[in-house]
Structure 1
Amino acid sequence: MVDNSDNFRPAPPLQNLNTIRQFPEYNKQDWNEFSEYIYNHILVSTGQYPKLESTPLRAKIFGKIDREDYMIEKVYFESYPGFFCTGNLYRPKGKNPPFPAIVSPHGHWARGRLENTELGSIPSRCINFAKQGYIVFSYDMVGYNDSGNQVEHRQFNVGTQGEIWGISLMGLQLQNGIRAIDFLQDLPDVDSDRIGCTGASGGGTQTFMLMAVDQRIQIAAPVNMISAHMQGGCLCENSPNLRIDFSNIEIGAMMAPRPLLLVSATGDWTKDTPDVEYPAILSIYQHFEATEKVRQVQIDADHNYNKASREAVYEWFGEWFLDKSEPVELREQLSEIESDEDLLVFHYRSVPYHALSMDQLTESLVQSAKFGIESRKPTNASELRSYQKEMGKGLYHALALQPSQDSSEDLMQKLSNSGNVKEATLIVYQQGELETLKSQLVDIGHSVFALQLRPSIRQVEDRFFTTYNRTDQALWIQDILLALDKMEKCLPQAIHNLVGINGGGIFAMLAAGFSKANRVVIDVEEFNTETDDDFVEKLPIPSIRRVGGFRTAGALIAPRSLLIFNTGSQFPTTWISDIYRAVEKPDLLSISESGEVNIADWFSLD
């Protein structure tokens, strides 16, 4: 094994939103497994995992505008308590319910859902869908139009502190989409089994994200968005951790085998769709013998959701939801577009008094996440297994441990001869000398290995760095697991131990639950879990706190032998101690506030 005395860690190539992404060849089994990974990874990335307690929508529908064969109403509801999703509801007149329904997000048009230009008219789209027999909910991007009373879109910024709690603009928009489906399903004149979604550009991103995580979307048409070489340029399209191991092509393929129309344009980043993205997604539909359920159409135009694009979508939706195979029936009709004042939800009325500011919403989401973790606290062995399964999955995705493994170089040192030993111990550290501890462990019969955690040389100024790349801290945790795996293969008959000291403790603790280490020793160096500051400075891993952080890490190690020391008063261990007592293994957990602990003596006690 090599001496890793260099100052920096080899790092994988940097990715960004314009990195050209390849779509691998998947067989059906591989795709089924990977699509499950994508599903959970999206949920963790967008702060949707674990699911927060469902709350009432408290929907308000008012301000009806009656036209000959359709009507328009104003809508707002609480996507989260005190956080409002705002928009317009378009309904058919003179037709018999129940009606299919369409969730209609919009992109970065200057006027949001009110945009009415040749390149894109959202009111025209919704009116024509209503005339054809659909109920359509056209709602604001977070920070646009009525939603802008609470949150700014372009200036949205929760910083690293928000990221560690899984709070993002993309997550808020996905939440609005999920709750929009809830809202439509609650309407008595909606057929809950026929709900579709379509939007262009940033609305296309919202469409494919929603269809990927919510099976209630039965038909979809993301317009001018899915691309192998441009993944979306706005913060609302780039939640942290999202596209490290897959791209929008895989997310689009998550729709299979439900009906999917890819609408592209010759004048934007979807110009290659007929030859690149469509064949890739088609290959997944082939596994389900559902090739008739995916189609592509390309419009000779710049970035758009113009009349030609809209009519292609009308035809696709009509084929599956209205059983209409004749396109002429679904040509767009000219319609009167209402004034902005008559469409804006809060033009003639005040925003509800309990509407939250962005800071208040952030705090509310943090408190809800804390409650969610506390409410899942195991009180017996069965509950611990359930917690490990649910929250272990969340931590696994927050750490981005799968599927890529950067194993191009062996980063581990062998500090002693193996010989005929009964125990093998990996020491994880950042700095300092190991000779004393090594000698003590060798004296009690351990073979000793070491892994130094070193920063990588990477430019991390990219605005969406964490969307496409693992942080150094996440890479270190993966390094620990790879090193443990190699140590286990080197000495398969030995008892395997993990020790984290000298700056390596918190990373070893997060890795330990995903390893086979029999005994674990962690120096937490008085890491302060009571505030976000130490996480932001030392452990800036997206969603780490949302999925339980060190509480989940401790639960995953339980009931193995665990020593946590140097806790001081800032690293409370009551939660972990309660778990060990709940599973009747309190003797396997040792806690010390002091940093002066003889690790070799602790190993000798067992």
Structure 2
Amino acid sequence: MQKIKSILALALLMFIHQSPIQAQTYSTKYEKPLSTVMNGLEKRFKVKFKYNVDTTGLKLTYADFRVRAYSLEESLRNILAQFDFNYWKQSNNIYKIKPYEYPRRHVQEGEQMLKYLSGLYSNKEQFEMRRDSVRREVRKLLEIDKYKDSLVHHKAILGKIIKNDGYTVQNICIETLPGEHLFGSIYSPATKGKHPLIICPDGHFNGGRYRKDEQQRLGTLARMGAICVDFDLYGWGESEMEYGKDSHQTDRAHVIQALNAEVLLDYMWNNRKDVDKKRIGVNGGSGGGTHTILLTVLDNRITAAAPTVNLASHFDGGCPCESGKPIQLAGGGTCNPELISFFAPRPLLIVSDGGDWTSSVPELEFPFLKRIYGFYGAEDKVTNVHLPNERHDFGINKRQANYDFFIKVFNLDKTKLDESKVKILEPSALQSHINGK
């Protein structure tokens, strides 16, 4: 009996020694498995976590001291920072745990950034000093002038003109850097005379610039009287044949796409006598909206801009083609709303929706822009069309907002607004085929 009691006592001592509760001491850095801590948070705050990261075997030091009884999100920040993870709220009680993303922040951080930026200038003079300084630094960080110095300046290769109802389409290929090309299409009105020009950077929507809604938008704008030019993303479409499909996921994509927009604008400016140089627009959605903003920073010839479903103070663009170069570090730190504010007091449309990161625009980014435009007495020149029940796309209501904007600022012919008149061409018809494919 005594032997049995001794064995039980020894077992109890071993259990106590190995108990996680007893291990919670300074000497063990109050360490716990991350999974244990996260499970505890779920029970304490009555939430559910979904994971895009592997937490197997991860240990959290000073575990319980990182938890704040009054705040789940502060607790998550304290806990996840050790592993370079972040959290994103998906509904009232569901959170996704993801790797840290340098271009993506929480809405509250965007709000704090705009508050900080607003404190840097209280009048037009202070704002313009900041504007000019940040613009110069963006060019330097993007390194676009190094690339522009290497342009080959060869003649453009123009395709056959495709005649449609009230507009034409012509493909264009320009050798930019030695052995490298941009590939695009020019949508022109069938009418004679001077026409506004709209450069249309593309986003990451399926189908690229060959998709139906892209052709509908550019064709309709052309029918109403605007010349529109779009072009392949770096490593997409025909560009993929030159660079390969993995090239888009590089920081070079950021500068090449900006360079291609500039090259096309230069070509149209210098070679098309039907371009009205007083009416130069830029219009793109999603990643194309990011490059819409960037083009306004790089080129003072732009007179009207309409970035669509992209603007946010808390998101710079999740693709390297939008944030591969560190331009958001210009001026000690900036963001897309400040960059597009430099466009003031020229006409600006911001299209946003309730189903993506632009849901904060009406309450956060748009008031910031209105304040800047107020420095010029031009609050009426900046407009927000917000679609709270829609998601991230370039659907008909987003396109309609763009049509209305350019009809107003460029005096387009509204009677020609009819998307059904636009002929949707096969992708091969919008390519130059210089690569023999």
TM-score relative to the length of structure 1 = 0.51
* Equivalent residue, structure 2, for 1:109: 205
In 2, are the aligned partners of 1:311 and 1:331 still within 8 Å (CA)? no
Q: Confirm whether residue 251 of structure 1 aligns to residue 312 of structure 2.
A: no
Q: Confirm whether residue 127 of structure 1 aligns to residue 214 of structure 2.
A: no
* Equivalent residue, structure 2, for 1:61: 158
Unmatched 5+ residue regions in structure 1?
Answer: 1-12, 159-166, 353-606
Unmatched 5+ residue regions in structure 2?
Answer: 1-83, 85-99
* Equivalent residue, structure 1, for 2:422: 335
Structure 1 residues 234 and 55 mapped into 2: Cα distance closer, same or farther (>3 Å)? same
User: Which secondary structure does the structure 1 equivalent of 2:338 belong to?
Assistant: helix
Alignment of 1:247-286 (within 5 A): 247-286=335-374
* Equivalent residue, structure 2, for 1:218: 303
Structure 1 residues 329 and 65 mapped into 2: Cα distance closer, same or farther (>3 Å)? closer
* Equivalent residue, structure 2, for 1:37: 133
In 1, are the aligned partners of 2:309 and 2:393 still within 8 Å (CA)? yes
User: Which secondary structure does the structure 1 equivalent of 2:243 belong to?
Assistant: coil
State the shift of 1:103 in Å.
0.5
User: Which secondary structure does the structure 2 equivalent of 1:243 belong to?
Assistant: helix
State the shift of 1:73 in Å.
1.1
Alignment of 1:443-592 (within 5 A): none
Counterpart among 185, 192, 195 of residue 99 in structure 1: 195
Structure 1 residues 201 and 242 mapped into 2: Cα distance closer, same or farther (>3 Å)? same
Alignment of 1:191-340 (within 5 A): 191-244=276-329, 245-299=333-387, 300-322=389-411, 330=417, 332-340=419-427
State the shift of 1:285 in Å.
0.8
In 2, are the aligned partners of 1:91 and 1:135 still within 8 Å (CA)? yes
In 2, are the aligned partners of 1:315 and 1:330 still within 8 Å (CA)? no
Partner AA of 2:131 in structure 1: S
In 2, are the aligned partners of 1:57 and 1:77 still within 8 Å (CA)? yes
Partner AA of 2:295 in structure 1: L
Q: Confirm whether residue 345 of structure 1 aligns to residue 432 of structure 2.
A: yes
Counterpart among 7, 11, 16 of residue 102 in structure 2: 16
Q: Confirm whether residue 84 of structure 1 aligns to residue 176 of structure 2.
A: no
* Equivalent residue, structure 1, for 2:20: none
Partners of 2:154 and 2:361 in 1: CA distance: 38
User: Which secondary structure does the structure 2 equivalent of 1:273 belong to?
Assistant: helix
State the shift of 1:332 in Å.
4.0
Alignment of 1:144-223 (within 5 A): 144-152=236-244, 154-156=246-248, 168-185=252-269, 186-223=271-308
Partners of 2:130 and 2:328 in 1: CA distance: 14
In 2, are the aligned partners of 1:142 and 1:153 still within 8 Å (CA)? no
Aligned residues: 323
State the shift of 1:240 in Å.
3.0
State the shift of 1:63 in Å.
2.2
Partners of 1:16 and 1:192 in 2: CA distance: 38
What's the Cα RMSD here? 2.3
Counterpart among 134, 137, 141 of residue 233 in structure 2: 141
User: Which secondary structure does the structure 2 equivalent of 1:107 belong to?
Assistant: coil
Partners of 1:197 and 1:280 in 2: CA distance: 21
Deviations 1:298-337 (A, max 9, x none): 123110111111111111111111167xx77646444220
In 2, are the aligned partners of 1:142 and 1:152 still within 8 Å (CA)? no
Larger helix share, 1 or 2: 2
In 2, are the aligned partners of 1:170 and 1:238 still within 8 Å (CA)? yes
Structure 1 residues 214 and 15 mapped into 2: Cα distance closer, same or farther (>3 Å)? same
* Equivalent residue, structure 2, for 1:369: none
Partner AA of 2:226 in structure 1: Y
In 2, are the aligned partners of 1:47 and 1:168 still within 8 Å (CA)? no
User: Which secondary structure does the structure 2 equivalent of 1:143 belong to?
Assistant: coil
In 2, are the aligned partners of 1:257 and 1:290 still within 8 Å (CA)? yes
Structure 1 residues 139 and 240 mapped into 2: Cα distance closer, same or farther (>3 Å)? closer
Partner AA of 2:143 in structure 1: G
Identity fraction in percent = 27
Partners of 2:321 and 2:163 in 1: CA distance: 34
Counterpart among 167, 171, 175 of residue 70 in structure 1: 167
Deviations 1:60-85 (A, max 9, x none): 11122112311111110123333211
Deviations 1:100-121 (A, max 9, x none): 11111110122110112xxxx1
4+ runs deviating over 3 angstroms: 152-158, 327-334, 349-352
In 1, are the aligned partners of 2:168 and 2:189 still within 8 Å (CA)? yes
User: Which secondary structure does the structure 1 equivalent of 2:394 belong to?
Assistant: coil
Partner AA of 2:273 in structure 1: P
State the shift of 1:341 in Å.
1.9
* Equivalent residue, structure 2, for 1:595: none
TM-score relative to the length of structure 2 = 0.70
Structure 1 residues 283 and 139 mapped into 2: Cα distance closer, same or farther (>3 Å)? same
Partners of 1:287 and 1:329 in 2: CA distance: 36
Partners of 1:283 and 1:98 in 2: CA distance: 34
Deviations 1:160-189 (A, max 9, x none): xxxxxxx72111111001111112112122
